């Protein structure tokens, strides 16, 4: 009795955290496997990343209730990296990504990720969601997916026509559609049934259907936990000298960090407990990715689906996320053979459902009404990711956001006062930058050449070099053509 009281006094929320950890484990299990299969790596590596996210990252300080693991948002980028560089190099990429995250956290750069345009991040997730949906429709049709995001979308009609006449494709499509239907309808199920997480229920029902009906669908290949873990050889790090690999490292670092810290901000809004320490959370994510890289596993981020499930299940401390990692470890060690019964189309259905949630259709419509510039940034970022690639798409979105901000910041007002006699007065106020230079020069060059001009720049808050030079040249030209020199009041 005394030992029980001591345990309760040391861990006053153990009961709530224990119950929450089981819920998160049941949510995380199918997602870990699904992300791994969709990324083109052994299913067990998804579990390894989930284990590391729970035990390693979960023990560290940062965000107390958010849960880390393999994320659907990284699936497309990981698949491309595995296709281009191979699985051994993936471990090296993830390892360097983790070290960069740790370094950025120690340099207290975590807070600056909150300065990234929300429209760029949402556009990034929307682009990922579109490519993820298109890519997972191929295993749903028992077909092989093309490599590029644009190819996945343009090739869908042909793949669908080719698959409609085969029993295997129809069976796969039925399992996938049934999985999505269960996920959509699960929130309307009786309360007792909803104690089982939707993804687990969907996969479980798909397994039963495939077994009972003896459907010819592809199932997950099992390699064994130890057989799947392959630390990157030293030769893999030599591949990182290439420009393509460095770009992939940069993309991994940017996307994993931004997604984790944006997730932390979202989780903070779900509970009233301790707030996230962003720099420490970035160090924790980096430590987890470093360990994942050493094990040759998938990269990790904080995952809002698991984190929200953790909060809603009543978690109070980080013990819940650590325990969820322990349950994943026990499953991977004791029941790895159970993975071989999971139909791949069911996992595709889970990821299609997850990808659809990344595309903010309603939010985009509302944003278009409120701020068309931000809606344009979101849309261009998403389309660029689909049409080009993840890294280039994000860079295009960031560049567009910078241009929009610069344009909005360079508000300029040019007021011309012409009383019909005497000098023409031109008053400039605001911020004169090169972005507004055509407008300024058009108005000034339309002023009468045969009248003196007084140019008042005292109302300017900022005058960049391009504008200063252009105004000086205009004043010289106008003075040379007119009867009197231009009179300038300096800014």
Please provide the DSSP assignment of 64-128 as one string.
SS--EE--GGGHHHHHHHHHHH-HHHHHHHHHHHHHHHHHHHHTT-GGGGGGS-HHHHHHHHHHH
Query: Has domain 412-489 been given CATH number 3.10.180.10?
Result: no
pLDDT at 7: 47
Comparing 61-70, 253-262, 368-377, 480-489, the range with the smallest average pLDDT is 480-489
Compute φ and ψ for 278, nearest 5 degrees: -60, -40
Vertex 28: Cα angle to 26 and 31 (nearest 5): 120
pLDDT at 180: 93
Average pLDDT over residues 485-490: 75
> Percent helix, strand, coil in the chain (nearest 5)?
70, 5, 25
As a whole number, mean pLDDT of residues 254-258 equals: 86
- All structural domains of the chain with their residue ranges: 8-401, 412-489
427 token code pair: 């008053």
Highest mean pLDDT (candidates 129-133, 208-212, 449-453): 208-212
d(CA 249, CA 275): 29
Tell me the per-residue pLDDT of 437-473, one tens digit each, with 9 for 90 and over. 888 888 888 888 778 888 888 888 888 888 888 888 8
Q: What is the pLDDT, as a whole number, of residue 9?
A: 52
Q: Return the number of other C-beta atoms located less than 10 Å from residue 102's C-beta.
A: 19
Mean pLDDT score across all residues of the chain: 85
CB 435 within 8 A of CB 410: yes
> Which residues, in sequence order, are CB contacts of 284 under 8 Å at separation 6+?
57, 60, 61, 62, 105
Compute the radius of gyration of the chain from its Cα atoms.
Answer: 28
pLDDT digits (tens, 9 = 90+) for 68-109: 999 877 888 898 899 899 999 999 999 999 999 999 999 988
pLDDT tens digits, one per residue of 227-242: 788 899 999 998 888 8
Identify the pLDDT of residue 178.
93
Q: Output the pLDDT for position 252.
A: 92
pLDDT in tens, 336-357: 888 888 898 998 888 888 888 8
Measure the CA–CA gap between 270 and 288, rounded to whole angstroms. 24
CB 451, CB 420: distance < 8 Å: no
- What span, in angstroms and rounded, lies between the C-alpha atoms of 291 and 6? 34
300 touches 70 (CB < 8 A):
yes
- The pLDDT of residue 434: 82
Please report which helix (H) or strand (E) contains residue 489, including its range. Answer: strand 487-489
Confidence of residue 299 (pLDDT cuts 50, 70, 90): very high
Edge-first strand order for the sheet with 424-432 is: 412-417, 424-432, 453-463, 487-489
Q: Assess whether pLDDT exceeds 60 at residue 5.
A: no
Portion of the chain with pLDDT greater than 90, in percent: 22
d(CA 103, CA 245): 19
* Tokens read off for 285: 């994510």
User: HSE (CB half, 13 Å, CA atoms) of 340?
Assistant: 7
pTM exceeds cut of 0.85? no
Residue 319 clears pLDDT 50, i.e. is over it:
yes
Mean pLDDT over 27-54 rounds to 90
Q: Are 227 and 84 in contact (CB under 8 A)?
A: no
Q: 134-138, 348-352, 485-489: which has the minimum mean pLDDT? A: 485-489
Cα torsion at 158, 218, 180, 35 (round to 10°)?
-100
Q: How many residues does the chain have?
A: 491
Residue in the block written with tokens 């281009």: 84
pLDDT band (50, 70, 90) for residue 196: confident
pLDDT score recorded for residue 147: 67
At 10 the pLDDT is: 59
Question: What Å distances lie between residue 410 and 116, 134, 346, 415, 440, CA to CA?
Answer: 20, 41, 52, 16, 12
Identify the pLDDT of residue 286.
Answer: 95
Residue 146, pLDDT score: 75
Interatomic CA distance for residues 144 and 353, integer angstroms: 20
Confidence of residue 3 (pLDDT cuts 50, 70, 90): low
């Amino acid at each position: 009795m005394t030992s029980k009281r001591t345990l309760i006094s040391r861990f006053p929320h153990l009961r709530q955290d224990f119950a929450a950890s089981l819920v998160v484990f049941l949510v995380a299990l199918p997602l870990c496997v699904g992300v791994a299969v969709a990324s083109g790596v052994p299913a067990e590596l998804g579990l390894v990343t989930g284990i590391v996210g729970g035990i390693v990252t979960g023990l560290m300080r940062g965000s107390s209730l958010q849960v880390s693991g393999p994320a659907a948002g990284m699936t497309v980028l990981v698949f491309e990296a595995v296709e281009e560089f191979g699985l051994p190099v993936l471990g090296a990429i993830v390892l360097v990504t983790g070290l960069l995250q740790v370094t950025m956290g120690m340099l207290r750069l975590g807070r600056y990720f909150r300065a990234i345009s929300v429209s760029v991040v949402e556009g990034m997730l929307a682009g990922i969601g579109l490519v993820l949906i298109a890519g997972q429709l191929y295993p749903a049709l028992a077909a092989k997916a093309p490599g590029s995001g644009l190819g996945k979308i343009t090739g869908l009609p042909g793949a669908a026509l080719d698959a409609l006449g085969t029993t295997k494709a129809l069976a796969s499509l039925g399992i996938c559609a049934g999985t999505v239907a269960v996920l959509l309808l699960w929130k309307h199920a009786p309360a007792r049934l909803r104690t089982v997480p939707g993804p687990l229920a969907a996969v479980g029902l798909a397994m039963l259907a495939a077994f009972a009906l003896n459907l010819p669908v592809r199932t997950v290949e099992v390699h064994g936990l130890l057989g799947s873990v392959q630390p990157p050889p030293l030769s893999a790090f030599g591949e990182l000298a290439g420009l393509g690999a460095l770009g992939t490292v940069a993309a991994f670092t940017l996307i994993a960090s931004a997604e984790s810290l944006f997730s932390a901000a979202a989780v903070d809004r779900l509970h009233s407990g301790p707030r996230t320490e962003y720099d420490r959370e970035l160090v924790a994510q980096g430590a987890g990715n470093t360990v994942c890289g050493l094990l040759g596993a998938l990269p990790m981020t904080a995952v809002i689906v698991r984190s929200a499930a953790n909060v809603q299940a009543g978690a109070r401390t980080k013990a819940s996320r650590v325990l969820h990692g322990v349950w994943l470890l026990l499953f991977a060690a004791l029941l790895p053979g159970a993975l071989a019964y999971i139909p791949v189309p069911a996992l595709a259905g889970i990821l299609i459902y997850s990808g659809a949630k990344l595309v903010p259709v309603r939010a985009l419509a509302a944003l278009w009404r409120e701020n068309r510039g931000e809606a344009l940034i979101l849309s261009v970022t998403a389309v660029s990711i689909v049409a080009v690639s993840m890294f280039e798409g994000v860079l295009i979105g960031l560049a567009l956001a910078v241009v929009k901000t610069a344009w909005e910041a360079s508000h300029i007002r040019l007021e011309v006062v012409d009383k019909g006699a005497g000098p023409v007065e031109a008053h400039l106020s605001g911020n004169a930058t090169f972005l507004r230079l055509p407008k300024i020069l058009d108005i000034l060059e339309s002023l009468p050449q045969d009248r003196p001009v007084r140019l008042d720049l005292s109302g300017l808050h900022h005058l960049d070099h391009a504008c200063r030079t252009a105004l000086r040249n205009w004043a010289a030209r106008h003075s040379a053509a007119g009867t009197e020199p231009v009179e300038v009041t300096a800014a």
